């Protein structure tokens, strides 16, 4: 864009010509897209590849492209096969197995300092993969994360025992399937934002996570934002964004 | 039936004739229907009229018929208009306004002794009509009832404060709308049967009570039986049946 | 907790110190959780592991932990592979194949006396696994159980023939798929609590058991509590709780 | 059409001209539509106007047009206001109030002889309008109809008492709301076609009749055809068609 | 039952004893069940086994029991494996492969005369298994069946060409997936009962056959009864019952 | 934008300044928004106000603003009250009552020439408001429109009679409620685009138009685009856009 | 039909005989079906086979029949196995792998000239198969197609960069899963018809594409027609029909 | 609690007695509830009353109780009638009419300083009440709020024009009905948390806001948390919580 303006200023082209040139200039050359990109690098937020429904060659190709311009790239819903393939192309690849996440970090990249405090709480053992996806995502995005797993509402004392951990968080990610009551109970105990992640854990009339989703949307407690069913990544990402608002030091 | 058998025995009719007669005898003359009726009177369970969708003349006619053979008749979903009409036909009619129940009791009927202990817990103020319907139903059916209203899970301490009341119940009726988490939390605190009554209280994605209903069906706690949305009567009735199993004395 | 109190009494610590100590004491050290635990042992109710969605190592680990403190542990939705694995770790493991339940009993544990009477009725042959899950669960929890299988409403005489069995029950578990009418018919025949278990048996517009679930929730008969689709365990557990209210002797 | 052919035969037009003429002749001049019409008159099946969602002037205009060519016209879902208006235009109009049906019969029209036997059974008092709509429709279409109202499955003896009436029917219309179990039970008692009419009677998780509809579609009994929710007209119409197949005499 | 009466008549037992005996006599010994059974044999309707969800040993056991008392037994949803197994136990077993039906006929059983006329029409090639299931079922139940396959509404001329076949039927079974419009169009062309069978054929927003099911229930044409999705057996069974009402000769 | 460029060319501002200025220039000053606006005027497409859910003062204010810059403005879902109010502010307002559309046309505006041919076909009388909304919308947008109302699929001859009208259309708008089969049948008769408009006409299991919507989405005929339930405006708008592609002369 | 008319004209048959003959003549001999067929050939629209749910022998048989009368036949949802089989029967078969389409073209058939301009835009990589199905379908039907893939709304600049391509289209096919917002944004940028194709891409609460489908039906932008979930063929077919209205030259 | 400890320390009671006393002490005397309450006052978060479904006397009673202990109380979903009643009891009551919120502030209460920046963006005019509810809620909770109304995705330039406002927010509340695409587009433009509020605005297949809800849950953009349909209060509350994390000064 500057080149066009320069050529106009020096009389190489006229106003009409400049007008036309500016109208067809690719958007990204003058606007937020590039700014976004810079901001993304600066904040240390990684680029993300959602592996589910992509072939391994497709995933490798996208990873290859992204690692050129990014210090840190993460691939979610990555099977062990994806990791095996990624490791031969990118020797430093790290696999978070329970979270099903592969992380590629550029050598020499400034290590992501973990700041603030995100608590990831989950209801049952079967919710663990989603909860780990949330936790690892938030960590890769620079959040200090504390895990409170297996604190479902049917055994309330397990949750109440960890009240101090909950209240020291900047934001809580509450992961639960079945009746999805955990976020309601948590939001009644803390006065910080709660990100609710419904899971498809359960059977019968849970309708693939619909029961937990509806419960979370209809919570009688205020201060809850809900993400898609089994969307641990989305929950961790949003939590890390919120956590970052609190500034740089660990709390 | 005995008449037929007697006539066969005395030779008035033959085997073939008796066979035919017995095949067409009205069922109720030989079977459980009558027994049921006797048992109902004996147990003190009232006959019930569901008023919703019936005209006042229809309701009065049914009440009139039922009061002939029953010590105690209750009409649920009764509007003030229904009560006004009932009162002129049946001067002793009692109206439980919050519960929307009219009770007619035969003069001189042995008063229903209240036994055992049914706790009716409810989440929010708006669930009160359904909770009261459950409570009054259980009382009319002879249960001693304790009400724990406004103990929703978003303010857990309100519920935990009443733990002793909960654990002394033979059966708990947990009434809640919105995310419907109350029965899960209650069933985690007591080891007695919990009857879950979802209500249509809420808005948006509660879909007329579906959110609470699904949450209750998918509870991670065992020992919960669910009734229809807003079915306070059904919850109170079932609780009273269960309560009666524990025997006659108040607990 | 007693230790803290003792140290306060003996002057080792002051009131302020004791106050602080008690505030952070793990909940389970002072409250219902432990009491619950004791009560659970006393009542003979077993601890339960839901195997579906867990790996065999996970299941074995949980079983190992639970058998330390419990006389009796049951694992539901256990495949033959789970049983084979459990048997090598726990030689006394018993497999209820149709019910898909593995039971571990501590050697020398006081055998569970079967009391009361729970009738488990089911509609069709395909409902058998769910019905057996309910029946075995109730038995392991100490209920005397009578099975009335294949008594669906399309052949009413099969059910009516067993009326005497039904009316002698303290509580009936009615298991049915497809149109799910069995609980309605049963509740019209008995005046005891009926636990309705919808199954996913059927096809087309049964929508994975939704047809039976809705039918049971909308029953025109009172006295029915519904559990989740295919939740035989939940039905049997609730029935055993109710049955126990009737006291210790077999009826 | 004959005119065209005649003109071709007599040479007034050529083959090409005739070909074109026949191609554009209104369909109804050569085909089934007219035949249908004749058949309809001959069979005594009436023309039907569905009043719901039409203004009274629209209804009167349609009735006026239909009565020109038909011996018998019926208007369904007719409010008292529709009847009042119809009566002033058509003095002989008859109103079946419970069924919400107005019948107009041409003076001197051969009265419809009632043949065969259609039994209309219904579950509860609130199903009466739909059941009456079915019954009156079948009668207007020439069927002999027997009504068995208030025979819901929760009080099975009421239905079993009327087994003889059921088994003497050519076809049974079973009308029920809530859990919609009546058709299943009826189809298990008779070996004749059963037309199932779900009603929207109920509340909560009946979802406007969905519970009864799904139950009827998923019946474990064979020989059931289902019509739309609250579609008493459709049920009576189909039953009358089936009944007519059995021939002219009353059974 | 006669034995009891006879013993009463001859004084072996008294009235009281007879009364008790009759009260506990198995239902089937005195009532409709047996009559049903007789009627079933007399009408030539076969006993039916629904194979889906049953193991081959279970199926063989049930077939073995049924063939003792029935001239004709059919097994629906039978895979080739089921047929292979059935053939070794029952050498005369016949397999209707497209319909997935195995038929066992008692040697020397009076062959089922095919009467009346049932037309089975279907929309597309993929609906064929369901349409064949309907057709074979009706044939086994004694109906003369004519097949009109691949006459979907998007190519209306295919259907209109066969109008004569349609109008000569006593009852039409219309099988269609996707938008499920075939029954509406057929019911507009004939004045006989139409049995609508929705299929799960389609993809995307057909939701497993829901689109066709709803279309058929909401038909603007009267005279349509709907069965469950993919329930070819149910459609053929109901059609055969209706067809039989028209009497014995082929039409 | 030209002003900025001119100032750069003449040296009033430098490249940096120009760069900044262009980055913050309101979008609409340099891009498609304005072009769109011009194109809209040139094509004669009107601006549209959706009245439902707006107060009359709001509607009048919006109309007032739009009429300043537009030759032709239309207001959809306009009640008679809206029209009465609009008429006093805009004396030339025209009300299409059945379509519930008010049209305001600037005095002296070049009258919209009607080109091409859009056929609007509808199933039943009750679909008329939606069909008229589609027809009037297409007319206001410059299409020649032919109406084929009351041509539902249950009386196929009515539709086949008008085949010539259908095949001469550039695009057909097919409006239907209940089973929504009209678009499928129409798309089988013509080889032009068909716009399907489902209506909420019906009752019971039509679920507010869902039955028609699903049927249209699942049509076995190709060449059908579906709009929202009752969205006559959307159907007419899309049809007019398509019709215009065929060029200026009436066909 | 002409033969009949000729025989009437020459007196071989009389009017009555001709009348009867014409009434029973197969429809296709006199009407639109044949005309359709001619039109189809003339327009170059291919015959289409939907492979999903058909066996390879069935597909080959249908292809064989269609290639006799058609210059061009396409098979959609064709797996590599289908292609392999087709290639041995039809050596000139071409496989569009990403689109899962096999095209058979008669040797010497006039090659389809590509006219107009259809833009196929898609949201994400995973939507590619559906987008390609739409693109190839439109190409085979004679449309010039431009692909704009991976222009989802979360990265708006990618779409805005291609505004010129969008605005030069006669019709845009917008393919998107998840929240399905692409058609709304596109329809706000262009004033041409937009065909919206929802895909099942996503997880959790996308319910197999329902989220995208509902979003597209509820677009706040006018000028959008929606096809079934994953129905790339339907989208491409409708777009090609619309594109053809614009006449023969490429734009 | 201290009293008990003191009595133990001074020997008035023993350890056992203290143990028992502590076990039954009301929860609220030692725990978070009170702390919560203090924290709430300190943070300036108001107490909230949800008026919908409550009578005016009930509302006034609750308001009266809350104003005793709180500096600031807000009542949501307050009709003008509620406001009129509140004003006579609480003369300083302020009514935010568009937001349907009444605010009561204690005289002399430290005025809430507005910090940070919350942007509330909404799609259409009809979403205004929900958007205002979010905006006023956030303001009452101490957030500086900027409103960007009427920036729906069908006119993208309106939104892009306000990009600078969006990117300067700490958190964006995106309110939209119909296809609910606004949050996706916004989240692609900013890297801050986005709170998505679906509204019930729309008709037909929007199913009371379900279309917007599903779209928001399925967004292809990360960083979005969703609240219930029409839940402006919930969106504003969560946004204010997040905004507060960024610290005290306005940004």
pLDDT in tens, C7-49: 888 888 887 777 666 654 433 333 333 333 434 444 457 788 9
Can you say whether residue B201 is alpha, beta or left, with left for phi > 0 and alpha for psi between -120 and 50 degrees?
beta
**Runs of H (alpha helix) within E114-224:** 128-140, 156-160, 163-167, 182-189, 210-217
What integer is the mean pLDDT of E122-128? 89
Count the residues in chain B. 251
Task: Using a CB–CB cutoff of 8 Å, tell me whether A38 touches chain C.
Answer: no
The answer to whether the beta carbons of residues A171 and A143 sit under 8 Å apart is: no
How many CA within 13 A on the CB side of residue B83? 16
Distance from the Cα of residue H22 to its chain's centroid: 36
> Among D157, D180, D199, which would you mutate to test the B interface (most chain B Cβ atoms within 10 Å of its Cβ)?
D157
Nearest-CA distance H227 → chain F (Å):
23
Contact H209, H177 (CB under 8 A): yes
Q: Distance between CA A25 and CA H249 in Å, rounded?
A: 39
Q: How far apart are CA B8 and CA E6, in angstroms?
A: 9
Query: Cα F98 to the chain's mean position, in Å?
Result: 16
Report which of G135, G144, G211, G222 is spatially closest to residue G180, judged by C-alpha positions: G211
Nearest Cα residue in chain B from D162: B26
Cα three-residue angle H223-H229-H230, rounded to 5 degrees: 110
Contact F191, G209 (CB under 8 A): no
To which residue do tokens 């005898």 refer?
A: B25
Torsion of CA F92, F93, F99, F100, to 10 degrees: -160
Q: pLDDT tens, position by position, for chain B (251 residues)?
A: 677 778 888 888 887 777 666 654 433 333 333 333 434 444 457 788 999 888 899 899 889 888 877 788 999 999 999 999 999 999 989 999 999 999 998 777 666 678 999 999 998 888 999 999 999 999 999 999 999 998 888 777 778 878 888 988 999 999 999 999 999 999 988 889 999 999 999 999 999 999 999 999 999 999 999 999 999 999 999 999 999 998 875 44
Q: Confirm or reject contact between H168 and chain A (CB < 8 A).
A: no
pLDDT tens, per residue, chain A with 251 residues: 677 778 888 888 887 777 766 654 433 333 333 333 433 444 457 788 899 888 898 899 888 888 877 788 999 999 999 999 999 999 989 999 999 999 998 777 666 678 999 999 999 888 999 999 999 999 999 999 999 998 888 777 778 878 888 988 999 999 999 999 999 999 988 889 999 999 999 999 999 999 999 999 999 999 999 999 999 999 999 999 999 998 875 44
Beta bridge partners of D101: D96
**Res C40: pLDDT:** 46
Does H contact D via 3+ CB–CB distances below 8 Å? no
- Please enumerate in sequence order all residues whose Cβ is within 8 A of that of D121, keeping only pairs 6 or more positions apart, or say none: D131, D148, D149, D151, D159, D162, D166, D172, D173, D174, D175, D182, D186
**Cβ–Cβ contacts within 10 Å for residue G81, how many?**
10
**Can you read off the two tokens belonging to residue F111?**
């009258």
What's the per-residue H, E or C state across F172-219? Answer: EEEEECCCCCHHHHHHHHCCCCEEEEECCCCCHHHHHHHHHHHHHHCC
pTM of the predicted protein model: 0.87
- For strand B72-76 and strand B224-226, is the pairing parallel, antiparallel, or unpaired? unpaired
Q: Which residues pair with A121 in a beta bridge?
A: A148, A174
> For chain A, which residues make up each domain, given as ranges?
26-105, 115-245
Touching E: which chains, 3+ CB pairs < 8 A? B, C, D, F, G
* pLDDT above 90: residue E134: yes
Question: Tens of pLDDT along C189-213?
Answer: 888 999 999 999 999 999 999 999 9
Count CA atoms closer than 13 A to D29's CA, side-chain side: 12
Measured CA to CA, the distance from residue C59 to residue F29 in angstroms comes to 66
Residues belonging to chain E: 251
C228-249: pLDDT as tens digits: 999 999 999 999 999 999 887 5
Distance from CA of F230 to the nearest CA of H (A): 6
Q: Who among C156, C216, C217 is closest to D188 (CB)?
A: C156
D187 in Cβ contact with D219 (< 8 Å)? yes
Provide the sign of the torsion angle of the four alpha carbons E161, E162, E167, E173, taken in this order: negative
Between helices H182-189 and H210-217, what is the axis angle to 10°? 30
In whole angstroms, give the CA distance from residue C215 to residue D179. 4
Least confident of E102-116, E201-215, H41-55: H41-55
Q: Do A19 and F5 count as a contact with CB atoms less than 8 A apart?
A: yes
The three-state (H, E, C) secondary structure of chain H, written as one string: CHHHHHHHHCCCCCHHHHHHHHHHCCHHHCCHHHHHHHHHHHHCCCEEEECCCCCHHHHHHHHHHHHHHCCEEEEECCCHHHHHHHHHHCCCCEEECCCCEEEEECCCCCCCCCEEEEEEEECCHHHHHHHHHHHHHHHHCCEEEEEECCCCHHHHHHHHCCHHHHHCCCEEEEEECCCCCHHHHHHHHCCCCEEEEECCCCCHHHHHHHHHHHHHHCCCCCCEEECCCCCHHHHHHHHHHHHHHCCCCCC
| Residue in D120, D75, D71 with CA at minimum distance from that of residue D94 | D75
User: How far off is chain H from G220, nearest CA to CA, in Å?
Assistant: 6
Q: Kindly report the average pLDDT of chain G as a whole number.
A: 84
Q: CB count, 10 Å around CB of H178?
A: 33
Can you tell me the distance from the alpha carbon of D15 to that of D30, in angstroms, rounded to the nearest whole number?
Answer: 19
For strand D143-148 and strand D115-122, is the pairing parallel, antiparallel, or unpaired?
parallel
Contacts of B28 in chain D (CB under 8 A): 157, 161
**Interface-testing mutation among F128, F180, F203, F210, with chain D (most D C-beta atoms within 10 A):** F203
Considering CB atoms only, which of F126, F161, F205 is closest to D228?
F205
Express each pLDDT in C98-141 by its tens digit.
Answer: 999 999 987 776 666 789 999 999 998 889 999 999 999 999 99
Q: Residue G72: helix, strand or coil by DSSP? A: strand
Q: Quote ipTM for the complex.
A: 0.84
Round to whole Å and give the CA distance between A55 and B156.
47
SS3 A192: coil
Given the candidates 3.40.50.300, 3.40.50.1970, 3.40.1580.10, 3.40.50.12500, the CATH classification of the domain at F115-245 is: 3.40.50.1970
Largest CA distance in chain C: 77
Q: Do D214 and C205 touch (CB under 8 A)?
A: yes
Chain H residues near residue G179 by CB distance under 8 angstroms:
179-181, 184, 214-216, 218-220
Per the model's pLDDT, the better-predicted residue between F17 and D211 turns out to be D211
Contact H223, H107 (CB under 8 A): no
A64 to chain C, closest Cα gap in Å: 34
Query: Exposed, middle or buried by CB within 10 Å (0-12, 13-18, 19+), for F196?
Result: buried
Residues H73/H47, Cβ–Cβ less than 8 Å: yes
Q: Max alpha carbon distance in chain A (Å)?
A: 77
Asked whether the beta carbons of residue G154 and residue H187 sit closer than 8 angstroms, the reply is: yes
With CA atoms as reference, report the closest residue to E216 among E173, E250, E248.
E173
């Amino acid at each position: 864009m500057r080149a066009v303006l320069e050529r106009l200023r020096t009389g190489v082209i006229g106003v009409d010509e400049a007008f036309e040139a500016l109208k067809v200039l690719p958007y990204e050359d003058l606007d937020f897209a590039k700014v976004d990109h810079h901001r993304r690098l600066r904040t240390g937020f990684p680029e993300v590849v959602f592996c589910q429904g992509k072939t391994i060659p497709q995933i490798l190709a996208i990873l290859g492209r992204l690692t050129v311009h990014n210090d840190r790239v993460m691939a979610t819903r990555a099977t062990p096969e994806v990791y095996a393939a990624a490791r031969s192309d990118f020797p430093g690849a790290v696999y978070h197995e329970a979270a099903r996440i592969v992380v590629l970090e550029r050598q020499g990249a400034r290590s992501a300092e973990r700041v603030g405090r995100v608590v990831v709480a989950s209801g049952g053992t079967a919710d663990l993969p989603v909860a780990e996806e949330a936790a690892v995502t938030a960590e890769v995005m620079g959040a200090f994360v504390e895990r409170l797993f297996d604190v479902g509402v049917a055994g309330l004392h397990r949750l109440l025992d960890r009240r101090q951990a909950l209240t020291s968080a900047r934001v809580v990610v509450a992961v639960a399937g079945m009746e999805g009551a955990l976020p309601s109970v948590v939001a009644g105990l803390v006065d910080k934002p709660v990100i609710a992640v419904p899971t498809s854990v359960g059977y019968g009339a849970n309708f693939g996570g619909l029961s937990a989703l509806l419960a979370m949307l209809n919570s009688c407690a205020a201060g809850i934002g809900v993400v898609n069913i089994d969307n641990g990544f989305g929950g961790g990402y949003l939590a890390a964004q919120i956590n970052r608002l609190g500034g740089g030091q660990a709390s």
